[in-house]
Structure 1
Amino acid sequence: MAYHSGYGAPGSKHRVRAAPDPPPLFDDTSGGYSSQVGGYAAPGTDVAFSVNHLLGDPMTNMAMAYGSSIASHGKDMMHKELHRFVSMNKLKYFFAVDTAYVAKKLGLLVFPYTHQNWEMQYSHDVPLPPRQDLNAPDLYIPTMAFITYVLLAGMALGIQQRFSPEVLGLCASTALAWVLVEVLALLLGLYLVTVRSSLSTFHLLAYSGYKYVGMILSVLTGLLFGSDGYYVALAWTSAALMYFTVRSLRTAAQGPDSMGSPAPQQRLQLYLTLGAAAFQPLIIYWLTFHLVR
C-alpha cells in the first residue's frame, strides 16, 4: 500500500522531512523603504525633504537675500520720505501737553479777553513746548475735540432718530475737510502776501482745529436748552474764537522773522488774519446747526 511521501509507514518512528517552501515569485525589496504599512513613507517626509532641499539651494538663498535687501531698502526710503514731509520731532512738540496746560487752554479758548501776553516764549531760540507756554499751539486739544465732536454728533442724531453710519461718517469727513481747506487757504494767503514768519502747517492746523471746542459747547448747550441755548452759545464761542484767532495769529505772524516788513505787507498780514477770524463763526454754524432742532 503506497503512502504519501511526506510521512513514513504506519508505526514508523521516523517522520520524513517536509519538502522546502517554493521560492517567492517576487524579490523582497522592502528593506530599502520605510517600515510603514504598504511601503509608503511617513507623512511629512516628502514635505520636509522638499523644504530642506529648497533651503539648501544656492539660487533660492540668493533670491531670499535679494528680496530681503529690496524690502529693507524700501523701508528706508519710506521712512526717509515720511520724515521729509512730516517731522516726528516737530509733531511731538505739538503733543507735549499736560493736564494743567489743557485746563488753562480750554479756559483761554472760552474766555480769552483777560489774557494779556500773547507772545510765544523761547529758550535759546527754540520755542518752549505747550506744557511750559500757554501761548504755544498744540494738536492734542484739536484732536481730542474732533473725536468728541463726532461722538456728540452721533448722540444728537440718535436722539433725533436720524442716526446712521453713513450720516455720521459724512458729518465727520465734512468737519475734517473744512479744516483742511482752511489750512490750505491760509498757506496760500501767506504765500501770496510773502509773509516771513515761523508759522508752519502744524501751527495753522492747530489754530484751525480749536474751533471744535466751540462746536462742542454749542451742540451740547443746544441739546440741553434747545435752539435758544444753541444760538447763545454759538454767539459766545464764535466771538471768543475770533478774538483768540486774531491775537494768536497776528502775534505769531509778526515774529522775529517778519520784523522790518514794509507797511503794505503788514496791512495784508492784518487783513489775512481778520479774514481767517471772520471765517470761524460761519464754519461753526455750518457744521452744527443741523444737529440741534
Structure 2
Amino acid sequence: MYNNVGSQPGVGMPTASPQPGPFGNTLYGASSGLIRGGLGAYGEKILGSSSEYVQSNISRYFSDPQYYFQVNDQYVRNKLKVVLFPFLHRGHWTRITEPVGGRLSYKPPIYDINAPDLYIPFMAFGTYVVLAGFSLGLQGKFSPEALNWLFIKGLLGWFMQVALLKVSLLSLGGGEAPLLDMVAYGGYAFTGLCLAVLGRIIFSYSYYFLMPWTCICMGVFLVKTMKRVLFAEVRSSDTSKHHYLLIFIALAQFPLFTWLGNVTVNWLI
C-alpha cells in the first residue's frame, strides 16, 4: 500500500536546514577577511606607533641608562674632586662631543670628567643613609622606623633638587636636557652630605664648618655646570634672568643641605 504519510512534508522525514546562497557565502567570506585584515593592520599600526612613541620619549627624557654607569676608578676620584672642590677645577666645564651615526653625541663619563654619571649619586645616597643611621645609633635613637624616614627624606630631597634644576630650565624656555642628567646633577649633593655627617660622627663641632663648605661647593658646582652645559641649549636672551636663577640655585643649597644634614628624628622617639 502506498503510504501518504511519507509524502507529507515535515512528517516522518527530517527537514534539512536552509543553506545560504552562493552570494551569501561570498559576502560572508569577503567581509570576515576584510574585518580580520583591517583589524590586524589597525592593531599593528597602533602597536607600532605606540612603540615608536614610547621609544622616542624614553630616548628624550631618560636617554641611555647604561651611559651613566660607564665609569672607572680614575673618573670617580677626579669627579669627587670637582664636586667637593670646584674652585680647584682649572679645566673647562663643557662636555666633549663626538660624531655618532651622523650626529653629535656626548662622550661617556669614562672619557669626560664633565659628563654626568649615576654611579657616584647612588653610592653617595646609600652611604648617606648608612652614616645617618650610624649617627642615630651613637645618639641612642636608632630604630627601623627612623632609618626608613631618613631614606624617604633623602629621596624627597633628591627629588626637590631635580625639580629645582628642571623648573629652572623650563622657565628659560629650555628643558630638552635628558631627565637622567638632572637626576645625576641633583644626586651629587649627597657627596657633600656624607662628608658633613661623617665629620659630625668624628668630631661634632666640625659639622658646623663642613656643612657651609659643602653647600658653597655644591652651589658653585651647579652654577658652573648649569651655565656651561645645560643653559647652552636655552634660546633665551635675557642674561639677567640667567644670573638670578643661577644665584637662586646656589642659595637653595643651604636650606636643602641643612634639612638633609639634620639626622635627628625626635618626633619618632
- Whether TM-score is above 0.5 comes out as yes
Query: Residue in 1 aligned with 2:202?
Result: 224
Query: Residue in 2 aligned with 1:23?
Result: none
Aligned pair 1:202/2:185, yes or no? no
1:174-197 residue CA offsets vs partner (Å, 9 max, x unmatched): 1111221232233233223213x6
Q: Is the partner of 1:216 in helix, strand or coil?
A: helix
Aligned pair 1:244/2:221, yes or no? yes
Distance 1:213 1:166 in 2: 24
Consecutive aligned runs of 4 or more in structure 1 exceeding 6 Å deviation: 76-82
Q: Does the 8 Å contact 1:219/1:291 carry over to 2?
A: no
Match of 2:214, as an amino acid?
T
Q: Does the 8 Å contact 1:110/1:237 carry over to 2?
A: yes
Cα distance, 1:200 vs structure 2: 2.1
Q: Which stretch shows the higher mean deviation, 110-119 or 160-169?
A: 110-119
Distance 1:167 1:78 in 2: 43
Query: Residue in 2 aligned with 1:115?
Result: 89
Q: Is the partner of 1:123 in helix, strand or coil?
A: strand
Matches within 5 A, 1:1-293: 83=55, 85-87=57-59, 90-116=64-90, 117-124=92-99, 125-195=104-174, 199-226=177-204, 228-255=205-232, 257-258=233-234, 261-262=236-237, 264=238, 266-291=239-264
Cα distance, 1:144 vs structure 2: 0.6
Q: Does the 8 Å contact 1:198/1:252 carry over to 2?
A: no
Q: Does the 8 Å contact 2:218/2:250 carry over to 1?
A: yes
Q: Does the 8 Å contact 1:250/1:270 carry over to 2?
A: no
TM-score, normalization by structure 2: 0.71
Match of 2:72, as an amino acid?
D
Distance 1:158 1:83 in 2: 46
Match of 1:213, as an amino acid?
T
Cα distance, 1:248 vs structure 2: 0.8
Cα distance, 1:291 vs structure 2: 4.6
Query: Residue in 2 aligned with 1:5?
Result: none
Q: Which stretch shows the higher mean deviation, 184-193 or 166-175?
A: 184-193
In structure 1, list runs of 5 or more residues that go unmatched. 1-72
Distance 1:89 1:247 in 2: 22
RMSD: 2.8
Cα distance, 1:101 vs structure 2: 0.1
Cα distance, 1:198 vs structure 2: 5.1
Q: Does the 8 Å contact 2:121/2:190 carry over to 1?
A: yes
Distance 1:242 1:126 in 2: 27
Q: Does the 8 Å contact 2:67/2:108 carry over to 1?
A: yes
Distance 1:200 1:173 in 2: 24
1:242-273 residue CA offsets vs partner (Å, 9 max, x unmatched): 11111011111232x446x42x2x32233222
Q: Flag the structure with more relative contact order, 1 or 2, with Cα contacts below 8 A and sequence separation at least 6.
A: 2
TM-score, normalization by structure 1: 0.66
1:117-167 residue CA offsets vs partner (Å, 9 max, x unmatched): 111111122111111000111111001100111111111111111111111
Cα distance, 1:82 vs structure 2: 6.7
In structure 2, list runs of 5 or more residues that go unmatched. 1-43
Q: Which stretch shows the higher mean deviation, 205-214 or 86-95?
A: 86-95
Counting matched residue pairs gives: 214
1:21-79 residue CA offsets vs partner (Å, 9 max, x unmatched): xxxxxxxxxxxxxxxxxxxxxxxxxxxxxxxxxxxxxxxxxxxxxxxxxxxx9xx9998
Q: Is the partner of 1:254 in helix, strand or coil?
A: helix
Distance 1:85 1:126 in 2: 18
Distance 1:169 1:131 in 2: 34
